[in-house]
Amino acid sequence: MIMTMDPETTEAPRTTESRELKLKPGTYRFGTFTFDFPFVVTRDGVLDFARSLDQCVSGRGTQTLTVRCSQMQPYVGPPDYHDGAVTR
């Protein structure tokens, strides 16, 4: 069923609920309808991924991957999330 959905017009599910996964060291891929990216779990159990993802992904050097955007490639607009910063 997922393969029949158009990624341009289908809104990806939204959630604020965390998911906990126990991943062994290795290379993995996070993916949604609108973007995907590889990340690595090191032997120390921490995450590493491309710095080009920093606008939308955080958690490098930790055990928690946080994805804040709903679209990314190409991502030329303003962030589609609120980071808590106050702009004046």
Q: What is the total residue count of the chain?
A: 88
The tokens for 82 are: 């609120």
CA distance 44 to 57: 20
pLDDT of residue 82: 56
| 26-80 per-position pLDDT tens digit | 999 988 777 789 999 999 999 999 999 998 899 999 999 998 886 655 445 565 5
pLDDT of residue 20: 82
- 53 CB neighbour count, 10 Å cutoff: 19
- Asked whether residue 88 carries a pLDDT value surpassing 80, the answer given is no
